[in-house]
Amino acid sequence: MNWPRIREIILKKDNYTCQKCSFHEEKGKELEIHHIIPKIYGGKDQLENIITLCSICHHFAPDHNEEFKKYINEKINGKILNSFRESKKSISQKTTFGMERKSKEGGAITKAPLGYKIINKLLVPDPEKEQQISQLFTEFCTENTSLNRLAKKYGLTTNGLKKILINKTYIGIITFAGKTNKGLHQPIISEELFQQVQEKINSLSKNKIYLE
Ligand SMILES: [Zn+2]
């Protein structure tokens, strides 16, 4: 069955009403459909797995099944969202909104950072390079070395190395349009190590010795 047809069936099933805030709209332009179990986790295009949400409630919907159940059971009054609905009517705002949602689902990722591969639009650790990344973080953190020296050792530019060391993707976070979300991918670096590396980078920059 094609997508517009599935959408039409789901909207009808839910009486053109957002299942969280009860926002109702016959034409359904502001309504979206959401997979309760995302397709990348094996969720199907079946009636019981798809639900109608307005674009705002959809935006904030958690990706994980159990959290989503909690989310959908906490009903809110759609009227409190009305001013927000008005303000995001311009096309550009709407586009950013949709893309953000995509990034949350992992759909907007087109380039994998070093240490990951993209398989079925999902970031997956690259077994060959994952080790190198964790070695990089550990070495920078524990050894008395500069960004410059470490970059040379790994055949990277200093700037390239710095970008890796501050990339939150490695702790499982996706950044898009300045906002961060928990990604669906597996972290390579522990938050503790990442934090230590950030502190070291900051203190080196402060003392202006990272370009030595
Ligand atoms: Zn809603």
pLDDT along the chain (212 residues), means of 10: 86 95 87 85 85 88 83 85 67 51 52 82 83 94 88 89 93 75 85 94 70 43
* Per-residue model confidence (pLDDT) at position 187: 92
CATH of domain 3-89: 1.10.30
CA of 66 to the centre of ligand 1 (A): 19
* Per-residue model confidence (pLDDT) at position 106: 46
* Per-residue model confidence (pLDDT) at position 208: 60
Residue 113: how many other CB atoms lie within 10 Å: 17
CA of 31 to the centre of ligand 1 (A): 8
CA of 142 to the centre of ligand 1 (A): 49
* Per-residue model confidence (pLDDT) at position 87: 63
CA of 52 to the centre of ligand 1 (A): 9
pTM for the whole thing? Answer: 0.50
CA of 175 to the centre of ligand 1 (A): 24
CATH of domain 116-206: 3.90.1750.20
The DSSP secondary structure of the chain, one letter per residue, reads --HHHHHHHHHHHTTTB-TTT--B-TT-TTEEEEESS-GGGT--S-GGGEEEEEHHHHHT--SSHHHHHHHHHS---GGGGHHHHHHT-SHHHHHHHHHHHHHHHTTT--SPPTTEEEETTEEEE-HHHHHHHHHHHHHHHHS---HHHHHHHTT--HHHHHHHHT-GGGGTEEEETTEEEE-SSPPSS-HHHHHHHHHHHHHHHHTT-TT-
CA of 17 to the centre of ligand 1 (A): 8
CA of 21 to the centre of ligand 1 (A): 4
Q: What are phi and psi of 82, to 5 degrees?
A: -60, -40
Q: What are phi and psi of 17, to 5 degrees?
A: -130, 130
The structural domains of the chain, with segments of one domain joined by +, span 3-89, 116-206
* Per-residue model confidence (pLDDT) at position 31: 92
Identify whether the C-beta of residue 61 lies closer than 8 Å to the C-beta of residue 104: no
Do domains 3-89 and 116-206 share one topology? The answer is no
